[in-house]
Structure 1
């Protein structure tokens, strides 16, 4: 289950400097699910040599910022996460003086901001200069599947790395199929009979039931000691229940993926679905990290194995990567605001292939590059007042804003702005043929510097920037510019188009994605 974690940049001797819990059913702060150990070590784990999962992915492993310390705030248990526990954890973390909050938990659906404990807690953290990194959710890339939407949060999608864990399936005719799975089993070259669900099904069942290995339709005596193959990703559970030796899954309804399946049995997956969600993306697939030794590596009840490390995937895994990157940037710029750190990581991210159907809505501004983020050149800063104005422009009343901000904040009746006026490092035009955006950048690079605007866009998306040149004479100097985005003669029905604005001074490249939707 998720653990509420945070990174603190101190020089204490111990890695974990404190732990609190907010659960009724588990009255201690220990990790009883493994998830918390995994995310914590990803953010701030010490260097460990020859770490592996039963020999898989063996090598040196360490967290993003191994010299930092961790304080643990356990707000969740196997029964879920209560809002009052999450808010109490935020309050205590803020009171304890943490530097970065890493929150690998959240709702499965998008909540109203005034009802979302993570959005409320992270707003309070922002008020105290603390950036909150949060998992974007694992339901993407379908439309409106990101639960982490508050702009003061750093919402993190999960992406693959240069590692792919594969398992070959060698058939009796020496045909080799490339499968995907995390297996810690040594079959010592033995071969096992292969049986499909159709071959093992009761005559009274349908072909579809046999293909999907519906357990009630299978004859156990035909499966025992064999490799069971089904067109369903639940195959390992059925195979285990019916005493099969292993499982091969071929989920033809899903697209191929780099995310492997783990099971208590030898398993290989020939087809998988992909998943992603926005703001920025970080490694979240095939992540090897620490695991609680009191928790088996899978959720299967028959699994009695104990491991120090486990390989799992999801935005829970990518979130602590960004938390660590944010902590790294903060060590160089301890006085930067949460939005400044977020801007630095977003504008220096490596652009990703926009051929994806959902493009930036799937992966945000790109793949994090912490080394570049410590010297971004320009930053888009935003204050608490800026977020209040955004909420006012969205129709929030003083009463609902108080639920989020924790204090009285009135909306000026003369304010005519929109949510698009928030000084954010990205631009989105939705259901319109023209939109204007005012943005302000702060010079954090070289005192005397000149930046020129460069625009990349499809021919039917016109992006105009005024002024096209920004000249700075000192550090921390602010300058504003106007961006006009218009749509003209699109080819057919355009659902989504990607463009970008990059400010260049010969040293720095400050990139903002522009999405027309």
Structure 2
């Protein structure tokens, strides 16, 4: 934002959320921006005449901006009560575009506040006009906007869920009923989408009052507001053992009848990862199509990429038409994320793949022979629930076998969460749905996509690293990581400066745009702290200020986790401990110097895997009795295909173009599991989604070959089931799990009854009437899930909790014996029966009883593990224990 010598207005919205540790100082204006994990930082913008919360302020020597003191998506959730003002969005300098909002009544009130707070200045007549003109123009805009909008109530997108079986007999088709029902509350409303597979119903634009009236009609189950979701952002097959298992895992090269549907940012069809050499005809069961659009034609599909569609109507209804000069209104991927996830799940074998020589080798997806169908649902403005449901609708109709969604949104009850609703419909059709857990770790309760019919995937590291050593002038050396490949730094050490000492801004240490003083950093290497803005963006800021290189230091939120990036200038990322030591050197040395040495690619790094610090963690905030995440898979520094429409950093200033990119996130771990599920499906086509997930979970590992427990990179300590779920995926073992915990649609319906969902709420998910049996006692603890989340209710008066489960033998006949381990002596765990003998395909049930004798000080999270073994198979399930 430019700073001009004029008087302008600052709005403060929801100021009660201003962080307590950031006290507003008199005489200063604070700009708030958002970045990694929704962190908040202030920047001094200039003196003010008044500074009181919950008012409008007049600022001097500042440009107009909006101070939002809440989560980035706060206003997205208030579409029924707020009117979006895109006018203000263009005045802001956010890391990513957001929609800002003010109530129309506030605009009216604001006009009078402006007048009372801004008396006529004592200036010459001409100077007075020049000084007040910007304010007068703004007041005129606001006044006219409020006046113009007053007669027209706010409209927002809603998803209308309909009980199709209750269609009046006067209608021949449900579409006619939908149309009549909609027109009865609004003459102008049009249907954006109609649905019949993902849900029964349609999407439309309504006022809040129209939505209320529509929901009151017979046969209308729910009218839910549109939700906005966000994306969660070579050596993997070898690390997982797929390259050495041709005999044990023949499906690695013969899964050509399985179709993986990827809901993401689209696809770059020219990528070598989608080469169809050696593949046979498209499976006869496939009913999809290759949809043409901007920069994309039907001929872009082939026998590997067999389908591609795009869904933009929901996004356009919220934000206006797609700007086709910036992104393709077609399945083409202008972001890179969708190409990366699709090629990770089922990309073809590509020799000689690398990013600037890093991670050089053979790139391949998890299921190299599986087919891919790309469904573009994410745009620059986000991923909207109406578009996501439309894509799931098409995917079900197209006959995909696996759905992969590397995206997530805010937490909501299952019957209000479009991804959960669509995933339920897919599950009913035998489609496994794999979703990313989210990148909000290491905070607890930070998970997304926790419905029990979704496979929720966290992220772990590989045994591969990209070392970039930081050598200080005092002889100390520190190991970092980097993917920089460009002009080398001089051989001699360079002057070294801490960004916090090279800026007049309070958050200068974070290297935010406009905070560094060029005269203090030119020709030097700059140490920046991680947080608030993207890592590669910090490098761009440092470079534009005239510096020659950057060292990026983790803070406590990231610990020792190292994520490599293809920086625009020589740079190395170091852990928190190294960063603290480097800062100590900078603060005590009069003339500090530093060198950065890039060492390429190294493999065999131990310990590996470790849980990524960014990977979202449990407990499950919607249903604490369901342990999530389900498992972890590789998600750090993953090499996969990329879009030629954007550089490897994704920054507008990055003009480099690559065939493959290395990025990190649970977005990357999710398609690993999606592809592995496709492999298992190809060998066991009769297995249900629950059986496939069970096989992946019960064979996952939680210890290294040395016997040590999996580590958490955020703490440096052993991870827990709240971090890694059942453990790290082991695809070779998953092919032959011995026993599985299977689930049917009716089992899930019973689970919803246990949650005390109403008939209409269950109907919203199941698309059919289902009455809970009043004479039956439903228990969340009895869902046949391959994990145990034990919750002792403090007010229940009972220290005993029971969970029942049923095992299905998918191997040869055998006898299995149970064994339990736990890290607490305060809870006794017993299994009845302790031994089960099963014939092939036979089912046997058992009960686990948890008895607590914990005192108040003992009531802390505890963890354990139940294993069934016949001497060959180990069928393991994690246990978490906590108190409400």
* TM-score normalised over the length of structure 1: 0.93
Alignment partner for residue 743 of structure 2, among 382, 386, 393?
382
**C-alpha distance after superposition, 1:52-104 (max 9, x if no partner):** 11011111111001011101111111111111110111111111111111111
Q: How does 1:390-405 map to 2 (within 5 A)?
A: 390-405=751-766
1:263 maps to which residue?
A: 567
| Paired position in structure 2 for 1:512 | 877
Give, in whole Å, the separation in 1 of the partners of 2:654 and 2:638: 21
Matched pairs, number: 510
1:485 aligns with 2:843: no
**What whole-Å deviation, never above 9, does each CA across 1:376-406 have from its counterpart, x for those lacking one?**
1111111111101101110111101111122
Looking at structure 2, the residues matched to 424 and 141 of structure 1 have their Cα atoms a distance apart, in angstroms, of 25
2:545 alignment counterpart: 242
Query: Residues 352-363 of structure 1: matches in 2 within 5 Å?
Result: 352=703, 353=709, 359-363=720-724
Which residue in the other structure is 1:58 paired with? Answer: 360
Residue of structure 2 equivalent to 1:334: 685
Contact kept? 1:393, 1:418, Cα under 8 Å: yes
Q: Does the 8 Å contact 2:438/2:448 carry over to 1?
A: yes
Contact 2:565/2:662 (8 A) holds in 1: no
Which residue of 41, 53, 67 corresponds with 2:343? 41
Higher RCO, 1 or 2 (CA under 8 Å, sep at least 6)?
Answer: 1
Inter-CA distance 213–132: structure 2 relative to 1 (3 Å threshold): closer
- How far apart, in 2, do the equivalents of 1:478 and 1:197 lie? 63
* Aligned residue runs from structure 1 range 222-241, under 5 A: 222-233=520-531, 234=533, 235-241=538-544
Which of 776, 781, 784 pairs up with 1:420?
781
User: 1:49-88 to 2 correspondence within 5 Å?
Assistant: 49-88=351-390
Alignment partner, residue 429 of structure 1: 790
From the superposition, tell whether residues 164 and 486 of structure 1 become closer, same or farther in structure 2 (CA, over 3 Å).
farther
- Deviation of 1:215 after TM superposition, in Å, equals 5.6
Residue by residue over 1:402-426, the C-alpha shift from the partner in whole angstroms, topping out at 9 and shown as x without a partner, is: 1112222221212212111101110
1:231-256 superposed Cα distances (whole Å, 9 cap, x missing partner): 34454243033132221122444411
The residue that corresponds to 2:615 in the other structure is 276
Instruction: Report SS of the residue matched to 1:17.
Output: strand
Greater Cα radius of gyration, structure 1 or 2: 2
The structure-2 alpha-carbon separation of the partners of 1:327 and 1:10, relative to structure 1 and needing over 3 Å to count, comes to farther
Query: Does structure 1 residue 145 correspond to structure 2 residue 145?
Result: no
> Any conservation in 2 of the 1:354–1:498 contact (CA below 8 Å)?
no
Closer/same/farther in 2, CA of residues 258 and 250 from structure 1, 3 Å limit = closer
Query: Given the alignment, which residue of 427, 446, 458 partners 2:812?
Result: 446
- In 2: Cα distance, 1:506 partner to 1:198 partner: 60
Q: For 1:457-476, what aligned pairs fall within 5 Å after superposition?
A: 457-458=822-823, 459-472=825-838, 474-476=839-841
Q: Any conservation in 2 of the 1:11–1:69 contact (CA below 8 Å)?
A: no
Cα distance change on mapping 1:490 and 1:378 into 2, 3 Å: farther
The answer on 1:4 being equivalent to 2:263 is yes
> Aligned pair in 2 of structure 1 residues 499, 248: CA closer, same or farther (>3 Å)?
same
What stretches of structure 1 of length at least 5 have no aligned partner? none
- Give the Cα separation in 2 of the matches to 1:113 and 1:10: 40
1:32 maps to 2:325? no
Would you say the 8 A contact 1:16–1:69 is kept in 2?
yes
Give CA deviations for 1:172-208 in whole Å, capped at 9, x if unaligned: 4553221123222341654433222255345xx6xx5
Contact 1:11/1:68 (<8 A) preserved: no
1:219 to 514, 517, 522: 517
Q: 1:301 to 1:410 in 2, by over 3 A?
A: same
Partners of 2:710 and 2:353 lie apart in 1 by 35
Render the CA deviation track for 1:11-30: whole Å, top value 9, x for unaligned: 53621001000014242000
Whether the aligned pair in 1 keeps the contact of 2:565 and 2:649 (CA below 8 Å) is: no
With over 3 angstroms needed to count, the CA separation of the structure-2 counterparts of 1:201 and 1:258, relative to structure 1, is closer
Quote the offset at 1:218 in angstroms.
3.5
2-structure distance, mates of 1:410, 1:316: 37
Contact 1:354–1:360 (Cα < 8 Å) also in 2? no
Distance between the aligned counterparts of 1:515 and 1:144, measured in 2? 14
Superposition deviation, residue 493 in structure 1: 3.4
CA contact 2:562–2:574 (8 Å) conserved in 1: no
Q: Secondary structure at the match of 2:662?
A: strand
| Alpha-carbon displacement from aligned partner over 1:107-140 (angstroms, at most 9, x marks no partner) | 1x21221121211111001100110010011102
**Residues 1:156 and 2:457 aligned together:** yes
| Cα distance, 1:489 vs structure 2 | 4.4
C-alpha distance in 2 between matches for 1:43 and 1:354: 25
Task: State the alpha-carbon separation in 2 of the partners of residues 110 and 47 from structure 1.
Answer: 38
Deviations 1:140-178 (A, max 9, x none): 231211011100000000011111222112334553221
Q: Alignment partner of 2:458: what SS?
A: strand
Tell which deviates more after alignment, 486-495 or 421-430: 486-495
Does the CA-based 8 Å contact 1:10-1:68 persist in structure 2?
no
SS at match of 1:125: helix
| Alpha-carbon RMSD | 2.4
Deviations 1:443-473 (A, max 9, x none): 11113x111111112333321111111112x
Per the TM alignment, residue 263 of structure 1 is displaced from its structure 2 partner at its CA by 2.5
SS in 2 for 1:193: strand
Question: Contact 1:48–1:60 at 8 Å: present in 2 too?
Answer: yes
Q: For 2:468, what is the secondary structure of its paired residue?
A: strand
* Distance in 2, Cα, partners of 1:252 & 1:123: 39
Matched-pair contact (CA < 8 Å) for 1:104–1:319: yes
Q: Distance in 2 between matches of 1:488 and 1:145?
A: 30
Q: Would you say 1:324 and 2:628 are equivalent positions?
A: no
